[in-house]
Structure 1
Amino acid sequence: MILMFVYNILGWLKDSFDLTLTKLKYVVSKVAIFVTVFVILIWFSAFLYGSFYFAYMPPVSLTRPVNLQFKICEDGIGMCSYPADNITLVQEGQTEVFARGESYNIKMDTELPESPINKELGMFMVKLQLYDKTGEVVSSSSRSVSVMLHYRSELLRIMDTFVFSPLLLSGFVEQKQFLTVEFYNNYIDDSYNPAVGAYIEVQNKKIQIYSAVLKIHAHFTGLRYMLFHWPLLSAVIGTTLNMCLLSFIALLSWYQIYYSQSNGNSNSLELPETKTKNKTAMEERRRNIREMLAKERKATEDQMVGKSQSYPEMRYSKLETMVSRGMGEDPEECLISEKTLEDSESESTLRHRHTVMS
């Protein structure tokens, strides 16, 4: 008795464990599928946002070195032309450097030595021309520049040189000053004739320059302004929107597939049963009709003679043909044939009675 009780308890525990394990496997599989789909949607949403960002956002700044060139005089001493440089703004594979509808700040930064010649230059002009891919100038700007360096007295220069002499001797510090020439503060490129290059000319033959750099900086507005100044917030919002859209598409696809499979399974389960029932009913009706025809024919053959017998036989042959040819697998056809047979039977019975009475 105790062993049977223990055996039943162990069986119940085993069944409970198997049921719990089955449910756990089902839940774990569903959770794993959900987590996998969720991770895939997140990565794909982030990929879509990154692709949109790099395709929509132009570079915020562009820097090109200015290598000034000039003609040397015939005696080989000094400059006989203004120093100038032709700069290509687009890189290989690019067709435009300026984003459409955005404003840009264009300027040139130069490093000038604190030489006596630069101190005595005074004012001169610096010209910038932007041209398109055909070489036609699309925009031009000229700025007057004063190279009067920041004034410092003789005593201040001596003290500055003495204090920074270790750094000056070691090369960490140089006696130079920076000069910035701003050509455009709000330049908007022509969408039909975008600029691809720039020509810079310094209209002074005595100037001494260490280096010069052309800088282009964008002033974004609208959506680009938000994407540039709040990149993290924009990334979260963009990824979330992509996630919602992809989730909606995934749910619609899953519903369509699941609904189609459910309809297919229900049709596949119901259709054979319906066909079997219809076939059984039709076979039974055919058998009953054949038995009825056989009985009627036997009774008619026993009672009718001569010409009166040929007519019912013709009717019965027509009815048999109707039964064998007119009855298919459609239940409506069976009903029509059965009704036709009943009408024929009634007519035949009336004729038989009339013949007997006569």
Structure 2
Amino acid sequence: MFQIFSSLKRTVCMGPREFVRQRFKLPLVKFIHDTINLYKTRTQTGVNHIREILFRGTVVALITALLVWLAIFMYVAFYYAYVPTISHERPVFLKFRACDTNSCGSGNGKGMCSFPSAHIKLTERQRLLMLGQPYKIHLDLEMPESPANRDLGMFMVCADFHGSGGKVLANSCRSAMLHYRGYLLDTLYKLVFSPFFVFGSSEEKQNIHVELFSDFEEIESEPVTDIFIEIQTTHIEIYSAKFLINARFTGLRFLMYNWPIFSAAIGITSNLVFIAIVCMVSWYQIINSEEYQHLLHNQSERKILQDFDSGSSNSSLDEDTSLLEEEKHLRLRKGRSGSKDFIEEIRDFDC
């Protein structure tokens, strides 16, 4: 009851403006201020959380991209080191000694008086063929279907492989001839393709494929640098010739060359797994090392000291604040008691 009367007395003494200010305006302002601070704190916390998530995601994405590109680089390097070039091609320029009016018993000065031959420079110093890789070597001859070639029959094609010192490392001789076509088949062929022959889009010629080596492997100590070709006949007619070396892949090389996407997927995935295992093992070794444990122990000690210093400073500030508040209350009480004594003295004087 006493509290109710005291509150009513305080309300009457404050006046309407002060009553509205203390009872409505100040609590409303305090509520708005606390609400704004609350949402501001939540927003700042959310922004910091999103920033941390973005930072971690960026770091993870960069590390993943680095590992993927490293795996791709490892596979590409292994592919070019393990799988050789599939084919090597060299043009063949045949030369021979032409007949004159006094040679070879011929008075017309036509034809060849020596076998057509050619020299092919395969490489200068560096090795062209891969060691341990078998190669298929053949010579392609483009020959017209002339009466001379039809009457030639079989002929021999020989090849000598020389090293850098001129030593013969390998040689091979193979027979070849034009493909035979009978009179009726030849007539039908010419009738069907006669428009192409007239307009020049096709010719009466055959490509003769002469296989010199089916499984050639280069010697480690002496690589092949020069090749000498000789066609052992003087009655042959040739448009052009080319020398071909094709790698014969088996096993993993066959899979990597003929199935590139499948082998690349398996190879890159294997590299990623290997790199991930290496990184995990390295990270496990680092976090369990004595240096890392000593660093963590020092950081924890520093954190404890900082927390202790901040706690002591806060406690001292709290003590100072409480002392100031007590002094302020004492001053207010002294002021109130002094005003009451002054009022009583005035009343006594009036009486």
Q: Give the aligned partner of residue 113 of structure 1.
A: 144
Gaps of 5+ in 1: 275-358
Q: Give the aligned partner of residue 180 of structure 2.
A: 150
Q: Which SS does the other structure have where 1:12 is aligned?
A: helix
Q: Which amino acid aligns with 1:84?
A: S
Corresponding pairs, count: 270
Q: Does 1:88 align with 2:121?
A: yes
Query: Deviation per CA, 1:293-319, whole angstroms, max 9, x where unpaired?
Result: xxxxxxxxxxxxxxxxxxxxxxxxxxx
Distance in 2 between residues matched to 1:223 and 1:157, nearest whole Å:
46
Is the deviation greater in 6-15 or in 212-221?
6-15
Query: Deviation per CA, 1:278-306, whole angstroms, max 9, x where unpaired?
Result: xxxxxxxxxxxxxxxxxxxxxxxxxxxxx
Does the 8 A contact of 1:102 with 1:221 survive in 2?
Answer: no
Distance in 1 between residues matched to 2:254 and 2:192, nearest whole Å:
46
Query: Deviation per CA, 1:58-77, whole angstroms, max 9, x where unpaired?
Result: 11111111111111234353
Is the deviation greater in 49-58 or in 244-253?
244-253
Q: Which SS does the other structure have where 2:220 is aligned?
A: coil
Q: How does 1:157-196 map to 2 (within 5 A)?
A: 157-196=186-225
Q: Give the aligned partner of residue 128 of structure 1.
A: 159
Distance in 1 between residues matched to 2:72 and 2:29, nearest whole Å:
63
Q: Does 1:22 align with 2:48?
A: yes
Q: Which SS does the other structure have where 2:297 is aligned?
A: helix
| TM superposition shift of 1:194 | 2.3
Q: Does 1:54 align with 2:87?
A: no
Is the deviation greater in 125-134 or in 6-15?
6-15
Q: Which amino acid aligns with 1:32?
A: T
Distance in 2 between residues matched to 1:265 and 1:162, nearest whole Å:
93
Distance in 2 between residues matched to 1:158 and 1:50, nearest whole Å:
54
Q: Give the aligned partner of residue 233 of structure 1.
A: 262
Distance in 2 between residues matched to 1:95 and 1:13, nearest whole Å:
74
Distance in 2 between residues matched to 1:134 and 1:221, nearest whole Å:
32
Distance in 2 between residues matched to 1:209 and 1:117, nearest whole Å:
11
Q: Label 1:131 to 1:42 Cα distance change in 2 as closer, same or farther (>3 A).
A: same
| TM superposition shift of 1:253 | 5.4
Q: Give the aligned partner of residue 92 of structure 2.
A: 66
Q: Which amino acid aligns with 1:238?
A: G
Q: Which amino acid aligns with 1:150?
A: Y
Q: Which SS does the other structure have where 1:164 is aligned?
A: helix
Q: Give the aligned partner of residue 338 of structure 1.
A: none
Q: Give the aligned partner of residue 8 of structure 1.
A: 34
| TM superposition shift of 1:98 | 2.2
Q: Which SS does the other structure have where 2:222 is aligned?
A: coil
Q: Which amino acid aligns with 1:267?
A: N
Q: Which SS does the other structure have where 1:28 is aligned?
A: helix
Q: Label 1:14 to 1:272 Cα distance change in 2 as closer, same or farther (>3 A).
A: closer
Q: Which SS does the other structure have where 1:128 is aligned?
A: strand
Gaps of 5+ in 2: 1-26, 102-108, 306-351
| TM superposition shift of 1:112 | 1.0
Distance in 2 between residues matched to 1:263 and 1:247, nearest whole Å:
27
Q: Give the aligned partner of residue 139 of structure 1.
A: 170
Is the deviation greater in 256-265 or in 71-80?
256-265
